[in-house]
Amino acid sequence: MSRKIGKINNTLDPNRIETTRYRNGQLNSKIHYMDGRKHGVETVWWDSGLKQWEIMWKEGKEVGVGTSWYESGAKYWVETRREGGQQGIQTAWYESGKKSREMMWSKDKEHGAKTSWYESGAKQIEIRYTHGGESARMAWDEEGDVIAANFPTLPRSQQQTQTLNQKNQGKITSKTE
């Protein structure tokens, strides 16, 4: 991979566009700088010429929507950044186009639900977060049967009661502590 960097008098130009290329000449990356910090769009391409990922920068911090793609060109994930941290929904897909994961962020911490699905579309796991701390977790097998549950924010006696009630109803076959 070759690298082209803007230079003035043998020093890096603080306001430059930095590019790298694959050996075949195909553009690999392009990053804009202002006052020596990333500012503007940063794009990375696969050696095939298709985009691999893209994010916007403002004064050295990631902002806006970031997107990544599989080498096939199918979308891999999308996330929102504010002031360098994650904010809002982050979504990922299998290469087939089916959703694989969705999670909420607030002030760069997981907050709300994080859900993963099997490629078949069946729910695989759901984790609830409150300001970065896990507050509940459930997991399912591909047939939709609950295989694990954990409610760490409940008092220990209620956690055990909840788990026992679900086991007695045949809803849980194993539990992860």
Last residue of a domain, one of 67, 86, 105: 86
Last residue of a domain, one of 27, 59, 86: 86
Question: What was the pLDDT predicted at 159?
Answer: 44
Mean pLDDT of the chain: 81
Regarding whether 177 and 130 lie in a shared domain, the answer is: yes
Condensed to tens digits (0 to 9), the pLDDT of residues 54-88 reads 999 999 888 889 999 999 999 999 998 887 677 88
**Cβ pair 73, 59 in contact under 8 A:** no
Element containing residue 164 per DSSP (H, E): helix 156-168
| Domain boundaries, position 1 | 1-86
Q: What is the dihedral of CA 151, 155, 156, 158, to 10 degrees?
A: -70
Number of domains in the chain: 2
Regarding whether 60 and 17 lie in a shared domain, the answer is: yes
d(CA 67, CA 165): 43
Regarding whether 116 and 50 lie in a shared domain, the answer is: no
When pLDDT is averaged across residues 79-107 and rounded to a whole number, the result is 88
* 91 lies in some domain: no
Higher-confidence residue of 130 and 25: namely 25
Tokens 């045949």 belong to 170
Q: Which of 70, 49, 57, 66 is nearest to 31 (CA)?
A: 57
Regarding whether 31 and 70 lie in a shared domain, the answer is: yes
Regarding whether 114 and 67 lie in a shared domain, the answer is: no
Regarding whether 160 and 80 lie in a shared domain, the answer is: no
Regarding whether 146 and 72 lie in a shared domain, the answer is: no
When pLDDT is averaged across residues 151-157 and rounded to a whole number, the result is 54
Condensed to tens digits (0 to 9), the pLDDT of residues 35-47 reads 999 999 999 999 9
Question: What was the pLDDT predicted at 111?
Answer: 82
Q: Which of 101, 105, 106 is nearest to 123 (CA)?
A: 101
Regarding whether 123 and 82 lie in a shared domain, the answer is: no
Tell me the CA end-to-end span of the chain in Å, nearest whole number: 47
Categorize the per-residue pLDDT at 34 as very low, low, confident or very high, splitting at 50, 70 and 90. very high
When pLDDT is averaged across residues 122-142 and rounded to a whole number, the result is 88
Higher-confidence residue of 49 and 150: namely 49
Question: What was the pLDDT predicted at 7?
Answer: 46
* 119 lies in some domain: yes
Regarding whether 103 and 82 lie in a shared domain, the answer is: no
Q: Is the dihedral of CA 168, 172, 174, 177 positive or negative?
A: negative
Regarding whether 116 and 78 lie in a shared domain, the answer is: no
Task: Give the pTM.
Answer: 0.72
Regarding whether 110 and 57 lie in a shared domain, the answer is: no
Lowest mean pLDDT among 29-33, 82-86, 122-126: 82-86
For residue 53, what are the CA distances in angstroms to 34, 45, 50, 70, 72? 21, 7, 9, 9, 13
The rounded percent of the chain whose pLDDT value lies above 70 is 77
Regarding whether 67 and 109 lie in a shared domain, the answer is: no
* 112 lies in some domain: yes
Measured in degrees and rounded to the nearest 5, phi and psi for residue 152 equal: -65, -20
* 168 lies in some domain: yes
Question: What was the pLDDT predicted at 87?
Answer: 81
Last residue of a domain, one of 86, 121, 140: 86
